Amino acid sequence: MALLDYLKQNNHDGIILVEIEGEQLTYQTGSVQATFYMSDKPYFTESSDSIGAIPFTPCIESDLRYGSTVSNIFGTRASRNYGTISLSTPEVFAVTTVSGTPQYGVKDVRSSISNDAIDVASTVTVKLAGPRSLFTYAEAITLFTAKVDNVSYSSGGGVSISISSIIDSVYDKSLSTCSGTYGTVLNMKPELVDFATLKYSVNDGEIEAINGVFDRAVALTLTTDYTVDLSAGTITLVNTPDDLTVDVSGSKESGVFARTTQEVVDRIIDQVSLNITTSSDWDVDTDDIGYIVENPGDITLDVVLDELAAGHLGFWFVNRSNEITMLKWDSSGINSYTYDETQVMDYSWEYNSETYRSTSASTYDRNWHSGGSPAAGADPTRADFHTSEFGGIKVSAVSDGVNNSSTIEAPTVHTYFAQFSGSPAKHYVVAPFRSRVYEVEVPAYDILDIGDSVTFPTDEGDVTGLVIGITTTLGKGYPTNKLKVLP
């Protein structure tokens, strides 16, 4: 029997395991920081387990809550909040490695007393285990990983550890080194990097292809008018241009050209050295997109994710495995769960009315000087793309129309801006949106997350919807999930 099936049976023990990597306050040659092991009930691993025979200190005395909610249900990002772990004692079993040899013993978690202590930024892993005689340590389910925000001690010996999501680092993560052109972009304005040779850079590194070079919308000729260095991401002109734009298939690494939204995000995450990946659960359009980061020092990763999610009328969040997932609002959900009335402890609903923000908020112009005119022989349908609102980002994942109905229309992702013509316009301006949002309380033993699909019974029949908020309570009481569900 799987652990979750076992735990779902009435009266069965679930054990919360918390592992915290302490911070080494004074560097000791050859040693690494301690890992503290604690639980809410007695739990001992066995020597055949990956962490050996470890006695978890049963000192967790608080309910453990963790939650994740799309902060504005029609905004794009999701927040993840965790509560506080209260310990009844500061003395917790720990393993430290000194010169390659593990040292075992009870250590004080307080920084004022111990060299190895739980401190701000320590990594926290929370697991749900079954009785060790029935389930191995490897079968314990990792509920989430987080980091320590604050540690406080009471005079009675109690310890309070506030924890929060590691996705704060997504919000804070500057793209300072990620300048570049991703996917297929039309009419980008390259940067003049060598005045003497008229060398222009279209990307900071190797690119897939240069698809066209234009001066005031007049196509230039390869070799005659310009040469290309794909490995450096540059073009070199023969004559000084008047108003240069380039069609580029951009960033290429290890022979792989990033085309789709997910591939572009993967590429950018790689470049910012963040210990996070994209999940396999993405459910947004897989068309080619184009995306330019011009002033990376001014923007952070969450802005990029907001923008790219907006291009799909979607939202993004970080799942329990700390992977970024992007979904469309009309997604059917990553995992689906069905509850019957024996499992639903409570439900209620309310109308909620909010507005999509003008997600792309992008305008486009012709690719000649504003107020000027195209050069003789130019293609007048070509357009240049501008987005002044988002700190230098240009995005080509845009809708082809204005949606003002009360339903969400799936966007169309366009590769070519030239499909647009006419006066500057904005896209994705959606009228106020009114929908029921359900609050449902169910047992916590399904490892639900934002983006999952749930079906549950109500007086009006079964309701199926997308989980847009979740608060899980574990600990002394019976564990419950409180879900916000958008049908």
Partner 1 sequence: MSTEGNALFLFDDIASAGAVVADSEEVAMPDDNLINLTRSSVWRSTAGTSSELEFTLPAGDSFRYIALIDINLTTNGTIQIEGWTDAIDGSTKVYDETHNLSDGHLGWNTGVFGLGTFSQRADISLPTRNVVLFDTEQYNMGDRYWKLTLTDTDSSYQQCACVVFARDSRPAVNASWDWTFSLDYRSDIKTSLSGVEYSIDREDKRVFNLSWDWLNDLERNKYMQRAYAFKNNKPFVFCLFPDDISQKPSHTIWGRFNSNQISQQFVNINKFNTQIIEVL
Which spans of this chain sit near partner 1 (rule: CB under 8 A)?
10-14, 41-42, 44, 46-47, 52-55, 57-59, 93, 95, 102, 104, 106, 131-134, 340-347, 443, 457, 476-480
- The minimum distance between CB 75 and partner 1, in angstroms, equals 32
- The minimum distance between CB 459 and partner 1, in angstroms, equals 10
Q: Cα-flanking dihedrals φ and ψ of residue 20, to 5°?
A: -125, 125
- The minimum distance between CB 50 and partner 1, in angstroms, equals 14
Q: Which residues pair with 17 in a beta bridge?
A: 39, 127
* Residue 341 vs 350, nearer CB to partner 1: 341
* Residue 157 vs 432, nearer CB to partner 1: 157
* Residue 172 vs 346, nearer CB to partner 1: 346
Q: Which of 136, 180, 132, 447 is nearest to 304 (CA)?
A: 180
The residue written with tokens 């749900």 in the block is 128
User: Tokens in use for 70?
Assistant: 């799309």
Q: Which of 109, 139, 100, 113 is nearest to 15 (CA)?
A: 139
H/E stretch holding 101 reads strand 101-108
- The minimum distance between CB 6 and partner 1, in angstroms, equals 12
The residue written with tokens 């050996």 in the block is 52
Helix 301-310 / helix 261-272 crossing angle, nearest 10 deg: 180
Asked if 375 and 218 count as a contact pair (C-beta separation under 8 A), the reply is yes
Give the amino acid at 328: K
- The minimum distance between CB 42 and partner 1, in angstroms, equals 7
* Residue 13 vs 270, nearer CB to partner 1: 13
* C-alpha–C-alpha distance, residues 17 and 143, integer Å: 10
* Residue 255 vs 477, nearer CB to partner 1: 477
Asked if 313 and 431 count as a contact pair (C-beta separation under 8 A), the reply is no
User: Tokens in use for 294?
Assistant: 């011009």
* Residue 193 vs 345, nearer CB to partner 1: 345
- The minimum distance between CB 18 and partner 1, in angstroms, equals 15
Burial category of 2 from C-beta neighbours within 10 Å (exposed 0-12, middle 13-18, buried 19 and up):
exposed
Q: Cα-flanking dihedrals φ and ψ of residue 383, to 5°?
A: -130, 150
* Residue 32 vs 219, nearer CB to partner 1: 32
- The minimum distance between CB 336 and partner 1, in angstroms, equals 20
